[in-house]
Structure 1
């Protein structure tokens, strides 16, 4: 195995494990409330903002297909994985963790509920890491284009 793939697997494994550990805490009963944010267990049967919830149990298979396609693309486009190793590790580790939830729980384990000034969808650590991974790719791409 090459160095890039091992680094990718490291990011993937750390994010997957951290997300599952945090979710385990909430499944054991951890709760916390404040004026801004509540940390409370919710099962999301859809994707972002509960979209596609009507697909019910079939949603996990659609997500597996999408992640598989992305993984195949990254294997073929080695340079893309090389230039965004950490970001893709965050995205795929988080995505797989959320899909894993669908197989062992009634839905994705979400727990962060922002409600100060406006009510936002309930989300989790994996969702934050997916968004962080996308932001890293965008920033790296902008920086690389400016450097050229």
Structure 2
């Protein structure tokens, strides 16, 4: 358990720092680059995904911190969940806390990836990608466990 916790901290710290450094660069050094498929363009997101709930902009950071606190309490009470999903948890927490820090530091989440080839997509950031990767890992593990349970039931029948 301690080894998994240490791995979680290392993954968390690495991703969190990289994401914050990149965001700092976009905010302070004009790293915008125009590309034919995707551009790097600074944007501030006052809401959540696709700017939903932007009307809650000032309160979102506190709402998100409460959700994260609830998730942490859940994980402390359900150590087996942490044990099974520690890598995904590290990714989700790193991306989530980095975006929350943006809200305190810049007043909004700093976004910069802008897909515009064939269709226009929402502007997003590395933390968003990392959060989605963490969720994909959770789904993958869930599917794998469900298949294993199904196989065990078939063998015991």
Q: What TM-score does the superposition give when structure 1 sets the normalisation length?
A: 0.95
Higher relative contact order structure (alpha carbons within 8 Å, sequence separation ≥ 6) = 1
Deviation readout 1:3-53 (Å, 9 max, x if unpaired): 222222112111111110111221221111111111011011000000111
- Following superposition, the deviation at residue 96 of structure 1 comes to 0.2
Asked whether 1:81 is paired with 2:82, we answer: yes
The match for 1:146 is 147
SS in 2 for 1:33: coil
Asked whether 1:91 is paired with 2:92, we answer: yes
Q: Hey, what's the Cα distance between the residues in 2 that align with 1:142 and 1:45?
A: 34
What runs of 5+ residues in structure 1 fail to find an aligned partner? none
The match for 1:7 is 7
Q: Hey, what's the Cα distance between the residues in 1 that align with 2:86 and 2:47?
A: 28
The match for 1:59 is 60
- Following superposition, the deviation at residue 144 of structure 1 comes to 2.1
- Following superposition, the deviation at residue 106 of structure 1 comes to 2.7
Number of aligned residue pairs: give it.
148
What runs of 5+ residues in structure 2 fail to find an aligned partner? 150-157
Q: What TM-score does the superposition give when structure 2 sets the normalisation length?
A: 0.90
Larger Rg: 2
